Amino acid sequence: MKIVVRSNYEGLEHIPPEGKVIITTNHMSRLDVTLLLFNPVRPEITAVVGAAYKSHPVIGFLVNWAGAIWIDRTRADLSAFREALEVLKDGGVLGIAIEGTRSRVGSLIEGKPGAALFAIKSGTPIVPVGISGTEDAVRSFLRGRRSLVTACFGPSFTLPQLDRDNRDKDLQRFTDEIMCRIAALLPDKYHGHYAGNPRIKEIQEGKLDF
């Protein structure tokens, strides 16, 4: 990481030094996982990584070395779900890319409900993180430049239980909340699918109740 990029971490005080927590992040580059793995507060973070990366010579090696969890996103991967629950049961840190895949457009794409559902089921607080600068970092390195990449962490929060009568609506609302909290940590150009959402400005103004 030191060779390829210049890493910058902000809001580290929001990461609890101990106890279970889910870190939800945006995802624009294969460097994102590495950036989170080297955070100075909880470097023991266990990332949930798509099985498609298994065959990648660098990412595959790094993920296995870090003890991350491979997940098959083409199906309901109950084995990965159980592994993730064990990490949290032991007071660990779980990293989840809420969009479910890498954005190819250099900005946020629509979030998936899996992270919100998992946080609710496990009763685990969420720390959002907005990652910027990684989308062009590899290309810049190949041109002889080291890009500045930033991981900005926001305040933790806990999602309430789902209303049985409005389960799908609540799940969508909670997913949007997580995504807006991530967007609030990023420059406007990264807001993508959530650009113009009034909730982003509310969060930036410190209105964190929802």
Identify the pLDDT of residue 72: 77
Whole domain around residue 136: which residue ranges? 5-204
Identify the pLDDT of residue 6: 94
CB-count exposure of residue 37 (10 Å: 0-12, 13-18, 19+)? buried
Identify the pLDDT of residue 34: 84
The answer to whether position 110 is within a domain reads yes
- Residue percentage of the chain with pLDDT more than 90: 64
Identify the pLDDT of residue 100: 87
By mean pLDDT, which of 26-30, 59-63, 127-131, 157-161 is the weakest? Answer: 59-63
The answer to whether position 88 is within a domain reads yes
Contacts 24+ apart (CB under 8 A), 196-204: 203/154
Residue 114 has pLDDT above 90, yes or no: no
The answer to whether position 152 is within a domain reads yes
The answer to whether position 26 is within a domain reads yes
Q: Which residue has the higher pLDDT, 104 or 1?
A: 104
Domain total in the chain: 1
The answer to whether position 209 is within a domain reads no
Q: pLDDT tens, 130-189?
A: 999 999 998 899 999 999 999 999 999 999 999 888 999 999 999 999 999 999 999 999
pLDDT band at residue 56, thresholds of 50, 70 and 90?
confident
Identify the pLDDT of residue 58: 72
The answer to whether position 158 is within a domain reads yes
Which CATH number belongs to the domain containing residue 126 in this structure?
Answer: 3.40.1130.10
